[in-house]
Each structure stands twice: as structure tokens, then as C-alpha cells.
Amino acid sequence: MNTQVAIIGAGPSGLLLGQLLHKAGIDTVVLERQSPDYVLGRIRAGVLEQGTVDLLREAGVGERMDREGLVHEGVELLVGGRRQRLDLKALTGGKTVMVYGQTEVTRDLMQAREASGASIIYCASNVQLHELKGERPYVTFEKDGQVQRLDCDYIAGCDGFHGVSRKSIPEGVLKEYERVYPFGWLGMLSDTPPVNHELIYAHHERGFSLCSQRSQTRSRYYLQVPLGEQVEDWPDERFWNELKARLPEDVAQRLVTGPALEKSIAPLRSLVVEPMQYGHLFLVGDAAHIVPPTGAKGLNLAASDVNYLYRILLKVYHEGRTDLLAHYSPLALRRVWKGERFSWFMTQLLHDFGAHKDAWDQKMQEADREYFLSSPAGLVNIAENYVGLPYEEVV
């Protein structure tokens, strides 16, 4: 088998890159380890920056998002019982975010791939990357017990944090930057109307909580929990009671409870590897960086990488600009680090670190909350990062 760009992984990164390249007449093959149902079973965040929304539209997959997604012009931060609405639109000169689940983004992209007839191979096992530094890289994999070979010009490693792409880079090449946090998020999805028409990020001495949503009838709530906590220890009633205890009286009273459709716990961590290129391999999205979910940046940073790699490959194939390939990693990383900074900052600002922060750091955290939520400059700072910083041009 032969293609121009081999894409490893059919998460949002791989599918979006594949769709954009296909529309531009560049041939791709997507190799995914799991089945489509498995990929669609993963529940993840759902806040899209304007740049992500625009890129999905450019890829031709914006129709259902534009119909069913909810445009949010603001978000609420709740600290010490005080509610502070961030008017995103007013604070950023007209920018908003779109609430539309990552699962739905993935579903739309999968359907578009299917309709385009472009090649996608699910349940591909033992994917291995070869000759990354050579002129003719190739990928081998197993499908239905047969070993197959895919020759290509470039490989896009879109296979997430646990994928094979990053691990294919020889030891000593990548520098890893990591921060782990002493807690996780327990998430719950339920068919109940959201407690508020906008998202609420709440700091509380019992721990952080987030009131999010997927639609007018489906809610997504999160609780900060200590590491080591098990989902089984959190029957629905305990979850709802704890959420109410972390919200102000009037909000708690409005909360509509119901059975959980899904519950899961994810530890929080920040991680970046540099560089995001090794020879003909380019790392994209979670394969190169992880953020804690507090800033809603995971999917948006993946889209940002896709944006840069797509625009570079366009110029490579249409204008012969192979010199641009070396720009991918520095360009992508500049924006990645700003997203990492914001996710780290929001995590620091809103969580309870207990004994993990000393008295000084706790005071700094309090001062940050006071300052950022009362100063117009502080509010603009959070708002412009939340809606997403602009992309640089690829020239």
C-alpha cells in the first residue's frame, strides 16, 4: 500500500487532519488500533474555541455542530460563594466558545471520512513505524492476522498519549516536561437539564467542581477527588450530595438530579515533549502533550497542531516548500505552551491543594483569585485565553 501521509490514530487529531488533507487532494491512510464503537465510547470535554470551530467548518464537518452546538458568550467563576460572570464576548472583542461534545466531533469526522471514500483501517494492531529519518518512511501493521506495509512520504503521529508514535523516537531525542497534580476529576454524565445556561467553574474548600453540559437536556458535572478514589465509592446519591455541598445554596436548589449515564475518574497532569518532529514523523495532539481539563484546552490544542501541520503540508505538496517542515515543531509548541500555562494556571487557581501547598503558596493562590476576579485586566486575561489565542500564520 502507498499513500502520501500515513496518519496513526483516529481520534479528533487524526480524523481532522485526514479530512483537511483529503479535501486538499492529498492522499492519506488512517490506521486506528480500536473499533469505531470503542473510539466513540470515550466521553471527553466539550468546549470548542473559535479557531477549532473554524477549522472544523473548513474541513466540511461543521454542519451538525452549527445546528446542535450551543454558542456560549460567557462562563461563570465561583469563588468563596461569590459568582463572577466572565462576559467572554465583551472581554475579547466579540469572541465566543461552542459547547459541542468531543464524541460528536469525532462522530461527524468519522462519517465524513466514510462518505469521502478515503482509506481508514480500524482494528489495526501492532502498528510499527520505520525509517523515520530516511527518505522513504513506512508503517507496518497487522489486520485480520495479515502483516501489511504502508509506504508514505510523511507520518502524522495522532495516536494519543499511549500511542506508538512518540515511543518510536529513539531515547534521548525528546525532552519531557511534566507536572502531576495530587488529585483527579470524577466526571458524571446525566440526562438532566444543566443547572445553569453557562458553565460554572467553582472553587470551594471541599474541592473544585465544574457544572458543564452537552445539550439543553444533558449535563456533565465534575468533582475534584483525591488520587486513589474509586468510581465504585461514588454512588449517584453521594455524587449529587457532594456537588450540592460545593455550590451556593440557590444553585444547589436548582440542581436537577438523575441517574448517571457514565462516571469515570481521570488524574490531572500536564506533559509536553519537545520537539514534536523526528525526521518524517510529526507528533500531533495528545501524542505530544497533555493538559489538565480545567482550561478545556485538550481538544483545542490538538486542533491547533492540526492547523499548523495541515497548512505546512499544503505548501509542501502544492508549492514544494519542504523548508517549512522544520517550522512545525516550534510553531506548534509556542501555542501549546500557552495552552499548558493557562491549564496549569486555572488548575492552580481553582483547586484545593490542602497540605500539598505550603502556607505561602496558599496565600498566593488566594491573592490570585482576588486579583484575577476583581481586576478588569485579570478578567480579560482569563477570557482571552479561554476563547483561545490566535493562530500564527504559516508563511
Residue 30 CB, nearest distance to ligand PHB (Å)?
25
Stretch that binds ligand APR, among 3-11, 68-76, 131-139, 315-323 (CB under 6 A): 3-11
194 is annotated as an active-site residue? no
Going by C-alpha positions, the residue among 332, 336, 331, 338 that lies closest to residue 385 is 338
**Is 356 among the residues known to form the active site?**
no
45 binds ligand PHB (CB under 6 A): yes
Residues 88-117 contacting ligand APR, CB under 6 A: 102
209 binds, among ligand PHB, ligand APR, none (CB under 5 to 8 A by kind): none
* Binds ligand APR by CB under 6 A, chosen from 110, 129, 164, 202: 164
> Is 297 among the catalytic positions?
yes
Q: Residue 345's CB: how many other CB atoms inside 10 A?
A: 17
Which of 349, 358, 331 is CA-nearest to residue 385? 349
In angstroms, give the least distance from the CB of 153 to ligand APR.
19
Say which entry of ligand APR, ligand PHB, none residue 339 contacts (CB below 5 to 8 A, set by partner kind): none
Rule CB under 6 A: say whether 294 interacts with ligand PHB: yes
Our finding on whether 277 is near ligand APR (CB under 6 A) is: no
Shortest distance (Å) from residue 201 CB to ligand APR: 17
Distances (CA, A) of 143 to 15, 121, 140, 148, 157: 20, 8, 10, 7, 19
343 binds ligand PHB (CB under 6 A): no
* Minimum CB distance to ligand APR, residue 294 (Å): 12
CA–CA distance, 183 with 351 (Å, rounded to integer): 9
Q: How far is the CB of 174 from ligand APR (least distance, A)?
A: 17
Q: Of the two residues 17 and 296, which places its CB atom closer to ligand PHB in the complex?
A: 296
| Whole-number Å distance between alpha carbons of 350 and 359 | 16
163-195 in b/e form (b: 16+ CB < 10 A) is bbbbebbeeeebeeeeeebebbbbbbbbebbbb
Annotation says 133 is catalytic: no
Q: Which is nearer to ligand APR, 338 or 357 (CB)?
A: 338
What one-character DSSP code corresponds to residue 297?
Answer: -
- Residue 164 to residue 193: CA distance in whole angstroms: 40
Task: Dump the DSSP string for 171-231.
Answer: TTS-EEEEEEEEEEEEEEEESS--SSSS-EEEE-TT--EEEEESSSS-EEEEEEEETT--G
Residues contributing to the site for ligand PHB (CB under 6 A)? 45-47, 199, 210, 212, 220, 293-294, 296
Active site positions, annotated = 72, 201, 293, 297, 386
